[in-house]
Structure 1
């Protein structure tokens, strides 16, 4: 069965098409196509509190293309989810209504807790001890979603307005940083999490740069070393010498610093990086819903 997902983030929009096979009552996801569109909605939403007309038009065009691709790939079902940028934009609902009117596609604005559940529900839980206690940390362009999973269940969850795009543009307040520090220290004291599960495009890039084997842990020391290394290069040098995309090169260091801050305040020494994102979680969720229907 084929499914499709759209992840409307603050730094980019991702369109994922996957074939899902059911093997021994478990899903096996095979990626058909992943299209990453460099639509940085967060630049508008966080500084001007609204998404520009130019960006809104581009987003609508992306959904027209998505609808056509769904027909070409003959997908069983699809789902589109938006995170912090669309949550904060005062004209977010207006844009969603316009896209619904022109394409028939309804975009859901989801909170950090649901985002964590969707990603965790994929095979992440199968690669770690589900009886353990973990911090799930997703650093996006506009926010950092932190969820405490204990024995496979959510005990606590919080969304902080600290993201890579915000940090790059000096839009993170001191009060928000203090709030996150105090929350993490309380979590550490109460639950003593074993490690953190880290998701997000920037941590995936760092993981790849470290040449680690799949499911090997990324130590805080390794993350710090790579962050220090990247800081030696200008944004232009990261693009030209390291081959990074422009919309990755300017936010990867701010993102690293957020992960490092989480590790420091929660006293975490290692990150498990499943290299999955919201779009993967959506695909898995769509497969689950299809199974319930008896398909």
Structure 2
């Protein structure tokens, strides 16, 4: 069976197609078939204008029609499409999605911050299995940061904060919101000793790759993030693109993303971040399969997917 996820975030939109098959022992194994990312940047509209512009809606229509054809070419049996922070905040979000559904046939759900955190957390729980210990799973997006707490592989708490990279670039994040997140994390660290951070999102994956492209254990130290951040911050966007090979839509947001991870790590008292490269798109499609098609265990496989666009988001 082939299933797809469409994830429409504040910075980029993604199409992920996976194949699910049943092994002889009854477990379900997953392999990536196709991944595509489009730098849609809905947050550029929403966090400044408060709504989705006609130009951006037209971009979405063309993109969704392309996604629909790609799903047909890859013989996708079913899909789930979700929109997150930017679409939640857009005053015309529901109206735009209704128009897009009529013109493309793709039905997109707007999911709230807690549902986004739950999806992400369920996916990481399955990937760390029965891992012991305390974890803070942090996903930094363009419009929001989702933080979930895990104890011995079980979700204990989740929270969504309106602190995202595009919001920060637009000066739309209040000091009070940041202070609340810091206070919450300090309290979590006190209640959950020896807590460790698991990070997700395109920017932490890029920070990891820029510091340790050949490291087998997928983690980056906070000092390494700080060092890279200090080098990137003094450069212009054009210089970051030229010197570090960053894409245009990554070169600006990587700075506030680093700031968010540094702030969170200091509040939690952590000196490193694990980077398993699990995205919301993965969480959407895996959860869709689990909830609708199977009650069996899921075992991820190595990916041989065709990838188009930046896979670090």
TM range (shorter): over 0.9
Following superposition, the deviation at residue 244 of structure 1 comes to 1.0
Q: Distance in 2 between matches of 1:194 and 1:152?
A: 13
TM-score, length-scaled by structure 1: 0.92
Report the counterpart of residue 274 of structure 1 in structure 2. 276
SS in 2 for 1:51: coil
- 1:61–1:223 Cα change, 3 Å: same
SS in 2 for 1:141: coil
SS in 1 for 2:59: helix
Match in the other structure for 2:94 = 93
SS of residue in 1 equivalent to 2:150: strand
Q: Give the CA deviation at 1:287.
A: 2.6
Q: How does 1:1-295 map to 2 (within 5 A)?
A: 1-23=1-23, 24-122=25-123, 125-127=126-128, 129-192=130-193, 194-209=195-210, 210-288=212-290, 289-292=292-295
Q: Please list every run of 5 or more consecutive structure 1 residues that lacks an aligned counterpart in the other structure.
A: none
Distance (whole Å) between structure 2 residues aligned to residue 137 and residue 188 of structure 1: 14
- Residue 161 of structure 1 and its aligned partner are, at CA, apart by 1.1
Cα contact 2:125–2:154 (8 A) shared by 1? no
Task: Call closer, same or farther: CA 1:214–1:86 in 2, change over 3 Å.
Answer: farther
Quick one: distance in 2 between partners of 1:105 and 1:82? 12
Shift of 1:98: 1.0
Supply the distance in 2 between the matched residues of 1:25 and 1:131 (Cα, whole angstroms).
Answer: 26
Contact 2:50–2:91 under 8 Å retained in 1:
yes
Deviations along 1:192-230, one digit per CA (max 9) or x if unpaired, are 352011000000101111225344322212221221222
* 1:26, distance to aligned residue in structure 2 (A): 4.0
Q: What is the CA–CA distance in structure 2 between the aligned matches of 1:102 and 1:279, rounded to whole Å? A: 23
Structure 1 residues 215, 227: CA separation in 2 closer, same or farther (over 3 Å shift)? same
Q: Distance in 1 between matches of 2:87 and 2:194?
A: 31
State which drifts further: 165-174 or 256-265: 165-174
Residue pair 1:124, 1:274 contacting (<8 A) in 2 also = no
In structure 2, runs of 5+ residues without a counterpart are 297-313
Contact 1:127 1:215 in 2 (8 A): no
* Larger CA deviation: 258-267 vs 111-120: 111-120
Map Cα deviations across residues 99-130 of structure 1 (whole Å, 9 max, x no partner): 12222322111123322332333365444653
Q: Looking at both structures, which has the greater relative contact order when contacts are Cα pairs under 8 Å and sequence separation is at least 6?
A: 2
SS in 1 for 2:244: coil
How big is the alpha-carbon RMSD for the aligned residues of Structure 1 and Structure 2? 1.9
1-structure distance, mates of 2:122, 2:164: 23
Q: Structure 1's 26 and 231: CA in aligned 2 closer, same or farther, altered over 3 A?
A: farther
